[in-house]
Amino acid sequence: TQLLEQSPQFLSIQEGENLTVYCNSSSVFSSLQWYRQEPGEGPVLLVTVVTGGEVKKLKRLTFQFGDARKDSSLHITAAQPGDTGLYLCAGGSQGNLIFGKGTKLSVKP
Amino acid sequence: NAGVTQTPKFRVLKTGQSMTLLCAQDMNHEYMYWYRQDPGMGLRLIHYSVGEGTTAKGEVPDGYNVSRLKKQNFLLGLESAAPSQTSVYFCASRTQWTSLTPGELFFGEGSRLTVL
């Protein structure tokens, strides 16, 4: 059974700080995705990584896929209140897609 | 631009009652999914479908049934609701999956179900 473990579970920081959240597994994934979910809404895709060692940047967000394709990280530079939300990593095979439990980020002004 | 639409958005059931959640997508997607989200548990996959007429079990399928009679619709049924099924249910869809192009998952707004 494939499992995705995310850490930390909760993170509360001040505006302007940097942070990193992690997504780890003992299984190899052909790809991993990161989603962000705001209260009362469904998750929205941020990025997909498919190549081991791949780094993708989305404005102040930097995503990395581990060389062995078992883990991924999300780094946010100079966090802003608008970054507040639940960050979920997701991966799978043969069409199904499982999610980690998420990291709940709160950025205070 | 409807995307993925879930009905109903809220429902309260008594233990033992049955109900069906409807998911409709207008993007001609092959793959559709039902997840449940509970506090601290993230999203857990209940059932999914890789095309019209197909269904498969996910992580937590017990107590649920699904049907995909039409490509645009994916129904989730609870035959005898239990308090443990109190949750927020999300439907999602995406284009055909490959290992190198997994595609974006589009979610509905969720259906909040309470079982008393």
List Cβ neighbours of B66 (8 Å cut-off, separation of 6 or more).
B34, B46, B47, B49, B55, B74, B75, B76, B77
How far is B18 from chain A, CA to nearest CA, in Å? 25
Q: Does A33 touch chain B (CB under 8 A)?
A: yes
Residues B115, B18: Cα–Cα separation, whole Å: 10
Q: From B38, B43, B93, B91, select the one nearest A100 (Cα to Cα).
A: B43
Rg, chain B, Cα only: 14
Residues B68, B51: Cα–Cα separation, whole Å: 8
For A41-98, write each residue's pLDDT tens digit. Answer: 999 999 999 999 999 999 999 999 999 999 999 999 999 999 999 999 998 866 678 8
List Cβ neighbours of A8 (8 Å cut-off, separation of 6 or more).
A21, A103
Residue A3: its pLDDT value, please? 87
> Which residues does chain A have within 8 Å of residue B92's beta carbon, measured at their own beta carbons?
42
Q: Does the beta-carbon distance from B56 to A96 stay under 8 Å?
A: yes
* pLDDT interval class at B100 (50, 70, 90): confident
Residue B6: its pLDDT value, please? 97
A73 or B2, greater pLDDT? A73
Q: From A40, A33, A19, A24, select the one nearest A83 (Cα to Cα).
A: A19
Check pLDDT > 90 for residue B112: yes
Residue A34: its pLDDT value, please? 97
Residue B1: its pLDDT value, please? 61
Number of CB atoms found within 10 A of residue B2's CB:
9
CA neighbours within 13 Å on the CB side: how many for B111? 28
Cis previous bond, B8, omega within 30: yes
Q: From A71, A34, A26, A76, select the one nearest A52 (Cα to Cα).
A: A71
Average pLDDT of chain B to the nearest whole number? 93
> Which residues does chain A have within 8 Å of residue B45's beta carbon, measured at their own beta carbons?
96-99
Check pLDDT > 80 for residue A1: no
> Which residues does chain A have within 8 Å of residue B104's beta carbon, measured at their own beta carbons?
45, 48
